[in-house]
Chains A and B, each alone.
Chain A
Amino acid sequence: EAGVAQSPRYKIIEKRQSVAFWCNPISGHATLYWYQQILGQGPKLLIQFQNNGVVDDSQLPKDRFSAERLKGVDSTLKIQPAKLEDSAVYLCASSLPNGNTIYFGEGSWLTVV
């Protein structure tokens, strides 16, 4: 069974530039999550989708972050404009609707300089 796929794996951008990350969840997983993991910290949920609807985006900095999940499968997370403090690993994860087991991708590493 294929896991959660993410791209790009690594990205370096200058502050005030924009960046987009893509995620393809495990087939059949209706729930998709984006987590932000800053170095030395545990992951923090940014946004959760159920199919193509948003369940929780309470910790998403909406002035600069946006995410969409068109057609209820793939998802894109965008940051514009990026700040230095956005340097982190962005983890995509997916699960079946009961959410008991969440499977993570390998992450997209962002460095903002």
Chain B
Amino acid sequence: AQSVTQLGSHVSVSEGALVLLRCNYSSSVPPYLFWYVQYPNQGLQLLLKYTSAATLVKGINGFEAEFKKSETSFHLTKPSAHMSDAAEYFCAVSGSSNTGKLIFGQGTTLQVKP
């Protein structure tokens, strides 16, 4: 079975500060890992994905994430937060059968203060 834990349901940062959103996964097989962003009243948009290539993955809007197998982590970072980054962020892992089924974490709401 696979699972995802996102540490911290709410994260608040000041504009220009580092963004760090934490994600830990559990998987009995090599995982595919994803970060999605959801803006108010919208669907999910893919930020980035890890598919067993480079462990440091760069995504859209200046975000990146590093896959650390020893820590079973896939934390999302951005060097400098922008007001437009305020949204809900979901970490997800693909199903063990690689059918494409995503198992999501509970989500982290990012607040950016001016």
The answer to whether A and B assemble together is yes
- On whether the beta carbons of B106 and A106 are closer than 8 Å, the reply is no
- On whether the beta carbons of A43 and B44 are closer than 8 Å, the reply is yes
- On whether the beta carbons of B107 and A41 are closer than 8 Å, the reply is yes
- On whether the beta carbons of A100 and B49 are closer than 8 Å, the reply is yes
* Chain A neighbourhood of B105, CB < 8 A: 42
Within 8 A of B (CB), among A3-19: 4
Identify the interface centre among A40, A98, A102, A103: most chain B CB within 10 Å of its CB. A102
Binary per-residue interface labels of chain A (23-65) against chain B in the complex, 1 for a CB within 8 Å, 0 otherwise: 0000000010100000011111100100000011000000000
- On whether the beta carbons of A91 and B106 are closer than 8 Å, the reply is no
- On whether the beta carbons of B100 and A95 are closer than 8 Å, the reply is yes
A50 nearest in chain B by CB position: B99
Contact among B36, B43, B44, B98 for A99, CB-based, below 8 A: B98
Interface extent on B, as a size class?
A: 20 to 34
Interface extent on A, as a size class?
A: 20 to 34
- On whether the beta carbons of B101 and A45 are closer than 8 Å, the reply is yes
B98 nearest in chain A by CB position: A99
Please give 18 more A-B residue pairs, beta carbons under 8 A apart, in addition to A99-B100, A106-B41. A40-B107, A42-B92, A42-B107, A43-B90, A43-B104, A45-B103, A56-B99, A56-B101, A91-B44, A95-B100, A98-B100, A100-B32, A101-B46, A102-B102, A104-B36, A104-B44, A104-B45, A106-B42
Q: 27 A-B Cβ contacts within 8 A? A: A4-B43, A33-B101, A42-B90, A42-B92, A42-B106, A43-B44, A43-B102, A43-B104, A45-B101, A45-B102, A48-B99, A48-B100, A48-B101, A56-B101, A93-B44, A95-B100, A99-B94, A100-B32, A100-B49, A101-B46, A103-B46, A104-B36, A104-B43, A104-B44, A105-B43, A107-B43, A109-B41
